[in-house]
Structure 1
Amino acid sequence: MQLEVNVKQSLALKMTQEMQQSLQVLQMSAVELQASLAEKVSENPLLNIEYQDHQVDFKKIEKMALLKNHSGSATSVKHISEDYLHTKRPVSQDVEDIEKYLVEQIPSNVDLSDIEKRVLLFYINNLDESGYLDVALDTAADKFGVEIESAEKVLRLLHTFEPAGIGARSLKECLLIQMVETYSETCLPYRIVAHHLDDLAQGALKKIAVLCKVPKAEVQAAVDFIRTLKPKPLQEVASSAVEYVIPDIIVDEVGGEWVVSVNRKHIPTISINEYYAHMMKECDDETKKYLKTNLKDASILIQGLEQRDQTLYRLARLLVEVQASFFEKGLTALKPMRLKDVAELLEVHESTISRAVNSKYIQTPFGVFKLQALFAKGFLNTEGQTESTSHIKARIKEIIESEDSRKPYSDQKLAAILKEENVHISRRTVAKYREELLISNSAKRVRYS
C-alpha cells in the first residue's frame, strides 16, 4: 500500500463577524430593524438608544458612496428635509374578540334551554376564520344529546347575529342569510343564488336570464347587488395584525430635481455608552473582558447600520438614473432591470443587492412600492426595444378599462391589439397576465344595460 500526499490550492471566502452583521442588518426591513435594535440594546450594556426623529449625515454617506455616472447624465441628489418625510401606511385598529362579540348578541328574551345555550356556544367556538360553521349539525346533536331539530333551531338563531352570514355552512347559505331580512324567496337575487349560483360563478348571465325568464338587464342588476354581499362574514371584523409599511427610501421631486434619501426617521439612534467604555480602564480582568466583547459587538452593529445606509443610498441613486422614466411617468414606463445588472454597476455581489431589496419599500411621487417591483422582467419588441412585463400588464389593464363592457375583448383580441403596438405576446401570456391582475375573462366581464 502506498501513501500519497496531494497538495491542492483553492480560494475560499471566509465571512468575518463584521460582514455577517452587516449582511444581517442590510436584509432587515425598517420594522424588523427597530425590533432588532431594541433587543441588541437590552443585551449589550455598552449600547445607548435614542427614540427620536433624527437626520442622517448624508454628506458623509455621499462621500462614502461615490457613484460613477453610468448613464452619462448627472442626477442631483440632496438631503431631504422633514417636510418630505410623509409616510403613508395603514393604521391598525383593535377589534373586539369575535367569540365575545357573538356571545354578547345572545338575546335574553329567547327561550333557550341550558343545553341549547351550550350548543350555541359550541357553534360559536367552531367557526372558521371566514365565519363559516366548521361542524355538522348531527355532530352537535350527538355531542349534547339533543334532537337534530333542536340543533337546527339553535343554528337559525346564530344566523340572526351580526355580521350577516355568520354560521353559514356554504357560500350559498351565507349569501341567502344576508338577503333573508330584505328580500323574499321569490325575488330575482334570491332565486339566482338559490338555484343558479354555479352559472353565476361562470358568468353565464344569458343562461340565467333564459332560465329565470327575465331580461338580461334585470339579471345584470341582480348580479350587481349579489356582488355587494360578503362571501366571508368575518373578513372585515376578524382580529388581525396590520403590518406597518415604512418606506426605507424616499424619492421626491423638488424644484425640478430628484431628491433621494434613506429614511431613518423611524429607526432609533445607536451609540456607545461612554460610562461603561471608561470603566474598562479601572475594572478587573474578567469584567474588562466582558466589556471589551460588548464594545466590539456594539462597534460592529454601528458599522453595519452605516453600511446599510450607504448601500441603500447608492442603490437609490442608481435607480433614479436607470429608471428615470418610471419616476417621471409611473409603472407604465418601468424598464426591465435585473439584480445582476445593478450589482455589476455598483460593483458588489448580486446577493448584496438581493438583501438590500428584500422587504424594502420605496416612496415615489406615484405611491409606495416594494423595491422588488422596480426590478421588472422584460423582452424585446419588434422594434428592438425592451418592454417590461409591468408595462405590458398596465397596458392590458388600460385596454380592458376602456373596452365596451357589453362586448369585452377576448384574450386573443387583447393580444392582437398589443401586436399592433409592436408587442408580440401569445394569447396564453395575455391570459396569464390578466389573471395575475385579478381580472376576469371576457365572459365574466360582460355587462347588460
Structure 2
Amino acid sequence: MKVGLHLGLGQHLTMTPQLQQAIKLLQLSTLELQQEVQSALDSNPLLELDDGSEPAGMSSEPHDSTPEAPDKAGETLDLDQRSDMPDQLPVDTAWDDIYVGSGSGTGGEPVDEDGDPIETRNAQAESLQDHLRWQLNLTPFNDTDRLVAEAVIDGLDSRGYLTVSLQELADTVQHWIDEVPEEDEILAVLHRVQQFDPPGVAARDLCECLLIQLGQRPAGTEGLAGAQCLLRDHADKLAAGDLPGLMRATRLSEAEIQQVMALIRQLKPHPGEGWAGPDDEKTLIPDVVVRKHNGRWRVELNPEAAPRLRVNSGYAAMLRRADSSRDNQFIRDHLQEARWLIKSLQSRHETLLKVATCIVEHQRGFLEEGPEAMKPLILRDVADEVGLHESTISRVTTQKYLHTPRGLFELKYFFSSHVGTSSGGEASSTAIRAMIKKLVAQENPRKPLSDNKIADLLQEQGIEVARRTIAKYRESLNIPSSSDRKRLL
C-alpha cells in the first residue's frame, strides 16, 4: 500500500470548552445546578458565594515581607486584562488538558478530608423496600421465613403491590436454600408482611389491598362489615356502580350503601405512593418568580435558585506574590476556571430570564383568568422573539419551574399546539383540556357527559374539536370514560 498525502475539504461542528460548559449549565435543573456549584466551590479555592457583602479578602502583608506585595488588604485586581489568560481555549479541548483540577478523587470529583467523594455524604430518601426491611428486622422470623419475606419485599412494585406468584416466590427461595417452602408457609409469611406499614402493602390486587386496610380499622367502625362484604363478595357490582344490584344482594338500604361507599373512599388504593425513589422525592424549587406589581406582571429570578459567585480577591492577590512557579500556576489555573464558570452562570441567568419574560408576555391570559385562557405557543415563537435557536429554548424550559399566583408550573407547561375555532382564530390545546376538566367536574354523576356531548358543548363556545380529539385529551387528563365515571351517590 502506497503512503500518500491527500488534501480535502470538510465541515464538522466544534465547540470550545466554554461553550460546552455553558450548554451543560443551561440544561441543568435547579438542584443539579446547586450540586454543580457546590462541587465547584469545594474544588476551587478562588470561588466564593457572592452574598452582596464586601469581599473579606486575605491579609495582603506577606509573611516574608516581600516588597512587591500589595499594600492594601483585599486589593482588587483587573483580572480580565491579564494577557497570560486567554478568553477562549482552542476548540475540542478539555478542561483537564489545560488546567489541573484540585479534586483528588479518581474521577476528578471533590473529596472530603477522609478521601471519600463528597456526593456520598448526601442523604437519600428511604424507599418502600427499605422501610419494609427495617420492619422485617424487628419481626421474629426463622431463617426460611425471613428469606420468603425478603422475596416478597423484592417482588413489590412502586404501588406497593406484589407482582409475583406464590410459586415464583418458592422458586426464588429455592435458589438460596435447598429446602423448598410449602405454599401454606409462603402464604402465612405473606400475610405477616401484609400487616406491615403502610397499610395494604404486599396485596395481590385492589380488593385484597382494601380489605387489608379495612382489617386494620377498629372493630366498631361504622359500615366496616358492609364494606368488607362488598369488596369480598360483590366487587364486580361495586366496580360497575350497580346500586340496585348491591341493594338486592346485600339487603342494605341506600343510606347504608352510601355509608359503606364513604368508608371505602377513605382507603388508599396504592399504598406505595409516597415511598418512591430519591429522584421522585426531590423538592421543586422555582427558577423564576412572576408577581403582579402596580398592575404589571414582573418576572424575576429566584435568588435561591440563581447562585451568584465571585472570585476571592484575597487569593487572587496572591497571584502577584506567589513564592514559586508551581503555586503561581495553581492560582492562575483556578482563577481562569472561576472566571469562565461565573460567565457561564451569568449567561444562564440572562437566558432563563429572557425566555421566561417572553413566555409571561404571551400567557398573560393564563395569569389573569386561568388555564382556560391559555394561548397557543410553540418553541419557534419564543425562539424567533428572543433570537435563540429552538434547541436552546428546549434546554432552557426543561426542568425549569415558574412560580405564579396560580401555582408552580414547569416552563414547558405553557407550550401547546393549537386547534381552530369557528371564528377563524386558534385555541390552545391546554385551554381545551382545562375546559374538558371543568365540564366533567360540573357534570351530573348519574348522567356523565359523553365525548360527543363534550364536543357539542365546546362547539357552542366556538371551538371545533372532533370526538376522537376529546377522547385523547380526556385520557391525557386521566379522566375515565362516561360509563366508568358513573358512580354511586
Shorter-chain TM-score bucket reads: 0.7 to 0.9
CA drift at 1:392: 0.4
Does residue 348 in structure 1 map to residue 381 in structure 2? no
Q: Report the counterpart of residue 337 of structure 2 in structure 1.
A: 297
C-alpha displacement of 1:175: 2.2
Q: What displacement does 1:396 show?
A: 0.8
Does 1:166 find its partner at 2:194?
A: no
Deviations 1:218-240 (A, max 9, x none): 65654453343223333345675
Corresponding residue of 2:35: 35
Structure 1, 174-183 or 351-360: larger mean CA deviation: 174-183
Q: 1:5 to 1:222 in 2, by over 3 A?
A: same
2:228 aligns to what SS in structure 1? helix
- Percent identity reads 33
- The 1-side partners of 2:13 and 2:353 are apart by 26
Which residue does 1:102 correspond to in 2?
135
What amino acid is aligned across from residue 37 of structure 1 in structure 2? V
| Aligned partner of 2:156 among 128, 146, 149 | 128
Matching residue within 295, 304, 307 for 1:265: 304
Larger CA deviation: 161-170 vs 195-204: 195-204
SS in 1 for 2:446: coil
CA offsets per residue over residues 321-355 of structure 1, 9 Å max, x none?
A: 22222222222111111111111111122222122
Which of the numbers 286, 306, 310 marks the counterpart of 1:247? 286
Distance 1:198-1:296 versus aligned 2 partners, 3 A rule: farther
Matched, 1:177 2:217: no
One-letter amino acid of the structure 2 residue matched with residue 235 of structure 1: E
Helix, strand or coil at the partner of 1:234:
coil
SS in 2 for 1:435: helix
Distance 2:372 2:222 in 1: 48
> Is residue 98–residue 238 contact of structure 1 (8 Å, CA) maintained in 2?
no
Corresponding residue number in structure 1 for 2:374: 334
Deviation, structure 1 residue 365: 1.5
**Change in 2 beyond 3 A, CA 1:411/1:289:** same
**Structure 2 alignment gaps of length 5 or more:** 54-123
- The Cα offsets for residues 163-221 of structure 1, whole Å up to 9 and x where unpaired, read as 33233333332222223465899954334323443554455666656666767776565
Q: Cα deviation per residue 1:244-273 (whole Å; 9 max; x = unaligned)?
A: 111111110122222221112344431112
1:45-444 correspondence to structure 2 within 5 Å: 45-49=45-49, 97-103=130-136, 106=139, 114=142, 118=146, 121-122=149-150, 125-126=153-154, 128-129=156-157, 130-133=159-162, 136-137=165-166, 139-140=169-170, 144=179, 147-180=182-215, 182=219, 187-198=225-236, 200-201=238-239, 222-236=260-274, 240=278, 242-283=281-322, 284-444=324-484
Match of 1:85 in 2: none
Change (3 A) 1:248 1:145: closer
SS of aligned partner of 2:320:
coil
What is the distance in 2 between the residues matched to 1:291 and 1:311?
30
Does the CA contact (< 8 Å) of 1:362 and 1:369 recur in 2?
A: yes
SS in 2 for 1:271: strand
How many pairs were matched up? 403
Offset from partner CA, 1:3-61 (integer Å, 9 cap, x none): 999976x77664233222222222222211111011122222322235x589xxxxxxx
Alpha-carbon spacing, 1:22–1:159, altered in 2? closer, same or farther (3 Å): closer
Moved more, 431-440 or 93-102: 93-102
CA contact (8 A) 1:98 1:239 kept: no
With structure 2 as the length reference, what TM-score do the two structures score?
0.71
User: Could you state the TM-score of these two structures normalised by the residue count of structure 1?
Assistant: 0.77
3-state SS of paired residue (1:280): helix
- CA deviation after TM superposition for structure 1 residue 375, in Å: 1.4
Q: By how many angstroms is 1:291 displaced?
A: 3.2
Post-superposition shift, 1:137?
4.3
Task: Flag structure 1 segments of 5+ consecutive residues without an equivalent.
Answer: 55-91
SS of 1:432 mapped into structure 2: helix
Q: Which residue does the alignment assign to 1:19?
A: 19
The amino acid of 2:439's aligned partner reads I
Mark the CA change 1:384 to 1:266 in structure 2 (over 3 Å): closer, same or farther. Answer: same
CA distance in 2 between counterparts of 1:94 and 1:150 reads 29
The 2-side partners of 1:159 and 1:185 are apart by 22
Higher relative contact order (CA 8 A, sep 6+): 1
1:244 is paired with a residue whose SS is coil
